[in-house]
Copies of this chain bind each other. A is one copy, B any other.
């Protein structure tokens, strides 16, 4: 019978499956530059590879009339180390996902409901801008400023994929106005007027 080969392959495969097939994140163990530590393969189940958190609309009752629901390694441990992750965007009529970057990944999105206008700006300072209809996909190269806005009077639903299990998200307004970066430094490094900076810091809970 095949048992000798069977046992052989079964044993050595089990022993390093976590390293080579997958590495479901153990969010309590040490992290490294490549991602989270792996759960022991023997306690991994199919539910580690399935995530239902993108199934319902995010709450768009906010001034941007939009919501971003992430399925990164921190929310969806099954993608840890596999070089991809997802998120869901909900944009109510008039909704906007503000100017932002993903420092660690490129992004591709697909519009599954409604219509959006999306754009990004390159290092060469060229603007790439397009209105997308249901079924269209658009790619946003790594680390570049980009945004999405609802382009019609109906709610839009967009699924986004990333080239990293932890792409990160830096929302420009939070970075400039939602923390303790002194207003004087914001003004000096962005050329924005003091009144403008103070006004947005007040809205976004920034100090200094």
A residues engaging B (CB < 8 A)? Answer: 1-6, 8-10, 12-23, 26-27, 29-38, 41, 45-47, 49-52, 54-56, 58-59, 61-64, 66-76, 78-86, 96, 98-99, 101-108, 110, 112, 117, 119-130, 132-145, 147, 149, 159, 161-176, 178-181, 185, 188-193, 196, 199-200, 203-205
Contacts and interface: CB of A to CB of B under 8 A. Distances in A.
Contacts of A33: 23, 34-36, 38, 80-82
A130 B78 CA distance: 14
A62 B144 contact: no
B137 A15 contact: no
User: How many copies of this chain sit in the oligomeric assembly?
Assistant: 6
Given A13-B124, A59-B4, A125-B178, A190 B108 contact: no
Contacts of A110: 54, 86, 159
Contact of A122 (B22, B62, B68): B22
A161 B21 contact: no
Contacts of A179: 121, 125-127
A190 B61 contact: no
Contacts of A5: 62, 64, 66-68, 171
B142 A73 contact: no
16 contacts: A1-B63, A6-B174, A8-B69, A10-B174, A16-B74, A19-B73, A22-B141, A26-B30, A32-B38, A34-B81, A50-B132, A52-B133, A55-B135, A82-B142, A85-B108, A96-B188
